């Protein structure tokens, strides 16, 4: 199993405080390390390209998620 602790942003951001915070975090990722936050579909595609299947997404503390992936056999 592969376990990732990541933020998973919604496909469409709304005007809520939580979504505005996620948008700021995404911009910080772009400006700082040159990365970005991803949606569940984007994580699924990324893992599939690496021969893994996303099996579960579990919401944990502080807007983070635990993504569980298993190798594609």
Question: pLDDT tens for residues 15-63?
Answer: 888 888 888 888 888 888 878 889 999 999 999 999 999 999 999 877 8
DSSP symbol at 17: H
Average pLDDT over residues 5-21: 87
Read off the pLDDT band of 73 (50, 70, 90).
confident
Q: What is the pLDDT of residue 69?
A: 98
Distance CA 21, CA 26 (A): 9
Q: What is the pTM of this model?
A: 0.81
């Amino acid at each position: 199993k592969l376990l990732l602790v990541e933020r998973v942003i919604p496909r469409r951001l709304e005007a809520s405080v939580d979504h505005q915070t996620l948008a700021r975090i995404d911009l910080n990722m772009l400006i700082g390390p040159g990365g970005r936050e991803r949606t569940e579909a984007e994580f699924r595609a990324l893992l599939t390209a690496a021969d893994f299947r996303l099996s579960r997404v579990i919401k944990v503390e502080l807007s983070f998620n635990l993504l569980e992936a298993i190798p594609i056999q």
